Structure 1
Amino acid sequence: MTGPMPLDLASIRQAPKALLHDHLDGGLRPATVLELAADCGYDQLPARDAESLGAWFRDAADSGSLERYLETFAHTVAVMQTPEGLRRVARECAIDLAEDGVVYAEVRFAPEQHLEKGLTLDEVVEHTLAGFREGEALAAEKGNVIRVTCLLTAMRHAARSREIAELTVRFRDSGVGGFDIAGAEAGFPPTRHLDAFEYLRANHAHFTIHAGEAFGLPSIHEALAFCGCDRLGHGVRITDDISVPGAIEEAQLGLVANYVRDMRVPLELCPSSNVQTGAVPSLDKHPFDLLARLRFRVTVNTDNRLMSDTSMSEEMRKLVDTFGYGWSDLERFTINAMKSAFIPFPDRLKIIDEVIKPGYAVLLG
Structure 2
Amino acid sequence: MDRDIVHALPKVVLHDHLDGGLRAATIVELAQDCGYQGLPTMDAEELSAWFVQAANSGSLPSYLECFAHTCAVMQTADALRRVAREAVEDLAADNVVYAELRFAPEQHQEQGLSLQQVVDAVVAGVKEGETAAADAGRPIAARIILCGMRHADRTKEIAQLTIDNFGAESPAEGYVVAFDIAGAEVGFPATNHAEAFELLRKHFVPFTIHAGEAAGCDSLAGAVHCGASRLGHGARLYEDFSASIDGIDPGVMSAYVRDRRLALELCPTSNTQTGVVDDIADHPLPLLHSLGFAVTVNTDNRLLGDTDMTGEMMVLVDTFDYDLGALYTLTLNAMAQAFIPELEREDIVRGVIEPTFTRIGAALQGDLSDESQDTPTGEALTSQLQLSEEELAGIDPAVLEELGISLDDLGVKNND
Give the shorter-chain TM-score range: over 0.9
Following the alignment from structure 1 to structure 2, what is the Cα–Cα distance between the partners of residues 188 and 123?
Answer: 28
Partner secondary structure for residue 57 of structure 1: helix
Following the alignment from structure 2 to structure 1, what is the Cα–Cα distance between the partners of residues 253 and 202?
Answer: 25
Following the alignment from structure 1 to structure 2, what is the Cα–Cα distance between the partners of residues 186 and 318?
Answer: 28
1:95 aligned residue: 89
- Are residues 1:193 and 2:178 paired? no
1:111 aligned residue: 105
Give the Å deviation of 1:274: 0.1
- Are residues 1:317 and 2:314 paired? yes
Following the alignment from structure 1 to structure 2, what is the Cα–Cα distance between the partners of residues 232 and 191?
Answer: 14
Structure 2 letter corresponding to 1:208: T
1:34 aligned residue: 28
- Are residues 1:264 and 2:261 paired? yes
Q: Deviations over 1:178-228 (max 9, x none)?
A: 000001111100011000000000000010000010001000101102x10
2:65 aligned residue: 71
1:288 aligned residue: 285
Give the share of equivalent positions with the same residue, in percent.
Answer: 54
Following the alignment from structure 1 to structure 2, what is the Cα–Cα distance between the partners of residues 98 and 148?
Answer: 9
Give the Å deviation of 1:8: 1.1
- Are residues 1:13 and 2:7 paired? yes
2:205 aligned residue: 205
Structure with larger RCO (C-alpha < 8 A, sep 6+): 1
Q: Deviations over 1:55-100 (max 9, x none)?
A: 0000000010100000000000000000110000000000000000
Give the Å deviation of 1:243: 2.2
Give the Å deviation of 1:271: 0.2
TM-score, normalisation: structure 1: 0.97
1:228 aligned residue: 227
Following the alignment from structure 2 to structure 1, what is the Cα–Cα distance between the partners of residues 346 and 2?
Answer: 28
Give the Å deviation of 1:362: 1.1
User: Equivalent residues in 2 for 1:110-129 (5 A)?
Assistant: 110-129=104-123
Q: Deviations over 1:25-81 (max 9, x none)?
A: 000000000000000010110011111000000000001010000000000000000
Partner secondary structure for residue 108 of structure 1: strand
Structure 2 letter corresponding to 1:291: L
1:240 aligned residue: 239
Q: Which runs of 4+ in 1 moved over 4 A?
A: none
Give the Å deviation of 1:245: 4.3
Q: Deviations over 1:152-175 (max 9, x none)?
A: 000000000011001111111221
Give the Å deviation of 1:238: 0.5
Match of 1:131 among 125, 129, 140: 125
Partner secondary structure for residue 295 of structure 1: coil
Following the alignment from structure 1 to structure 2, what is the Cα–Cα distance between the partners of residues 344 and 102?
Answer: 19
1:153 aligned residue: 147
Give the Å deviation of 1:252: 1.2
Structure 1 letter corresponding to 2:145: L
Partner secondary structure for residue 305 of structure 2: coil
1:167 aligned residue: 161
Partner secondary structure for residue 206 of structure 1: coil
TM-score, normalisation: structure 2: 0.85
Say what the alpha-carbon RMSD is for the aligned residues.
0.8
